[in-house]
Amino acid sequence: MEASVYDDPAFLRRLADAVRSVRVGPAAEPSTMTGPLVGPPSPKLARALTELDEDESWLVEPGCLDAAANLWSPGVRLGVRPSSWFHRTECFGPVLGLMRADDLDHAIELQNAGEFGLTGGIQSLDESEVAHWLERVEVGNAYVNRHITGAVVQRQPFGGWKRSSVGCGPKAGGPDYVEAFGTWAGGPRTADTEDDFRRVWREYFTAEHDPSELVCERNVLRYRPLPAVDLVVGEDAPDWQVAIARMAAAVAGVPLRSGAERVRVLGAVDDERLAAWFAADVEVDRTPVVADARVELRRWVREQSISETRHRHGRLLD
């Protein structure tokens, strides 16, 4: 939260009032806004609901409302420090932590500093601020001027970045999801392969896709080049696969660098090396290289869903 808002007592009063006004109750009760947890809080969530760290305080203290410890009123923590336990931990429960940021860039730095990157959001009516945030935020699902939960198939394919994802699979509910259940094979490159890769990259992977085409909401799926990939070539890897992999990386603008957080393996590698990668939480992609641009280029990008509210209290924005 930017300092000008964080330091505003009137805003904090309104926030506290809004949180205290949330109706907590049974899931079957029509007036309920926040229902019970699926079970008693996990150790992480229990700590978030009951313990404060250094320099933190409660703007609104959460409370347990039933004997089973499943029903909790929501809470808000003030003074959450960068790199503190709450900043670094996914708690998955009704507790909000507020961090003070000097400006938008500092806020983005704090947001990207965590190991996880599932969802993130921004509240701003300044389109330049929104565009600035969207170019820099490191999350799989980015939300603008709306809540950051409730992903819908096709509108907001769901899946995170960094440690909020496991492996190299596509987003659930998106156009690439079915592909993950098949096995793809393709022959050696031809004289037209590179031109085809560049065309598909230009026409598909650099475009923003919004198949739902809602008037009141923009739901875009786009592709972002991976920061870097470590291309590991086994002795039995065919030369044509190596050539296509290098070409795909060049077309997508992905640097090939030893020690990257994602490894693309061509051919056979020993089990000891695989175990070392897995122990280090390195993403290992062992799918065969194919000469199909639509299939192969997806191995060199991350999907990002953007959902933006395009109305203000029901009035459509220009």
- Tens of pLDDT, residue by residue over 247-287, are 999 999 999 999 999 999 999 999 999 999 999 989 999 99
- Tens of pLDDT, residue by residue over 40-79, are 999 999 999 999 999 999 999 999 999 999 999 999 999 9
Contact present, 277 and 184 (Cβ < 8 Å):
no
Q: What percent of the chain has pLDDT over 70?
A: 100
Rounded CA gap, 128 and 214, in Å? 22
Domains of the chain: 3-153+307-316 (3.40.309.10), 161-306 (no CATH)
Give the DSSP letter string of 10-28: HHHHHHHHHHHT--B--TT
Element (H, E) at 96: strand 95-97
Q: What integer is the mean pLDDT of 111-127?
A: 95
pLDDT of residue 113: 96
- Helices 104-112, 127-134: inter-axial angle, 10-degree rounding: 30
- Tens of pLDDT, residue by residue over 176-220, are 999 888 888 877 888 899 999 999 999 999 999 999 999 999 999
Under the banding of pLDDT at 50, 70 and 90, the label for residue 156 is very high
> Which tokens hold the place of 138?
């490191």
